[in-house]
């Protein structure tokens, strides 16, 4: 499969003509990253747009102690690095491969040329920016106004798919380690451990095998 064909699998290029994608691909580079390998650091200057071809990446902020706060996960078919591509300023977070992954680097000049031909590419870019700004606002609000216990509940509920249905009053989701949750909600692992114990005693969260179960909102609030 050519790189142009791989790029066609990205949501942003679903209406782009094959010949335009092949031209775009001629300017791109493909790189592979091993698990936990850093693609770029917060503050790095760069104007390339990154298209996820395979695997999974996480966007994080790293504090002075080396602990991560996870801002987002980026999966195949999605893009990342759009802010620096637009304004040419430093990266707003650190991008790390969550598993062995593959990425395509799209130069700004080539991407801008494509945007001038296909308005749907521009529209998707705006939608992506808007969605990520909204999520950033939600994270800021959560850190400012919710305690750790409330942040755990909110994250677990937000992680549920739209088609999720409760069984016996509980939704099921993946089992997160205490460290993963602490990174995701911006709290210490010790605080997460303490709050999960309280939530378990209260019957709000249950853990069984490789699943976590969160009580339906109507039964919590």
Residues 163-221 have pLDDT tens digits of: 688 888 999 998 999 999 999 998 889 999 999 999 999 999 999 888 999 998 877 76
Q: Which helix (H) or strand (E) holds 219?
A: helix 217-220
Candidate CATH numbers 1.25.60.10, 1.10.10.10, 1.10.3720.10, 3.30.70.20; the one for domain 146-220: 1.10.10.10
- Spatial separation of the C-alpha atoms in residues 26 and 38, rounded to whole Å: 25
What does the pLDDT look like over 46-93, one tens digit per residue? Answer: 999 999 999 999 999 988 777 888 999 999 999 999 999 999 999 999
- Domain-wise residue ranges, the chain: 3-144, 146-220
Average pLDDT of the residues in 97-120: 96
With tokens 């078919």, the residue in question is 77
| Residues 128/79, Cβ–Cβ less than 8 Å | yes
pLDDT above 90: residue 162 = no
What percent of the chain is modeled with pLDDT above 70? 99
Class of the CATH domain delimited by 3-144: mainly beta
Give me the mean pLDDT over the 115-121 stretch: 94
Is residue 57 within 8 Å of 91, Cβ to Cβ?
no
Residue 125 has pLDDT above 90, yes or no: yes
Average pLDDT, the chain: 92
Stretch among 18-22, 75-79, 105-109, 142-146 having the lowest mean pLDDT: 142-146
Least Cα distance to 176 among 156, 199, 153, 197 occurs for 156
Could you tell me the strand order of the sheet in which 29-33 lies?
29-33, 101-106, 49-54, 79-80
Is residue 130 pLDDT above 80, yes or no?
yes
Nearest one of 51, 176, 184, 175 to 124, comparing CA atoms: 51
| pLDDT tier for residue 19 given thresholds of 50, 70 and 90 | very high
Q: Tell me what pLDDT residue 221 has.
A: 60
The one-character DSSP state at 38 is E
Tell me what the mean pLDDT of segment 6-20 comes to: 95
Q: How confident is the model at residue 161 (pLDDT cuts 50, 70, 90)?
A: confident
- Say what the pLDDT of residue 136 is: 87
pTM, entire model:
0.79
Q: How confident is the model at residue 140 (pLDDT cuts 50, 70, 90)?
A: confident
């Amino acid at each position: 499969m050519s790189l142009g064909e791989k790029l066609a699998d990205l949501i942003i290029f679903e209406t782009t003509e094959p010949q335009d994608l092949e031209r775009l691909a001629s300017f791109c580079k493909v790189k592979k990253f091993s698990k936990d390998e850093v693609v770029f650091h917060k503050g790095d200057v760069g104007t390339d747009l990154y298209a996820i071809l395979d695997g999974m990446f996480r966007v994080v902020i790293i504090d002075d102690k080396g602990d991560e706060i996870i801002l987002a996960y980026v999966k195949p078919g999605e893009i990342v690095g759009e802010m620096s591509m637009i304004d040419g300023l430093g990266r707003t977070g650190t991008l790390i491969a969550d598993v062995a992954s593959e990425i395509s680097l799209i130069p700004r000049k080539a991407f801008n040329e494509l945007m001038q031909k296909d308005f749907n590419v521009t529209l998707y870019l705006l939608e992506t920016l808007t969605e990520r700004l909204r999520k950033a606002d939600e994270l800021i609000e959560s850190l400012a106004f919710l305690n750790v216990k409330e942040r755990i509940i909110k994250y677990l509920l937000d992680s549920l798919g739209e088609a999720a249905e409760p069984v016996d009053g509980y939704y099921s989701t993946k089992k997160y380690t205490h460290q993963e949750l602490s990174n995701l909600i911006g709290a210490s692992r010790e605080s997460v451990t303490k709050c999960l114990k309280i939530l378990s005693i209260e019957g709000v969260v249950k853990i069984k095998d490789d699943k976590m179960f969160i009580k339906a909102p109507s039964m919590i609030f």
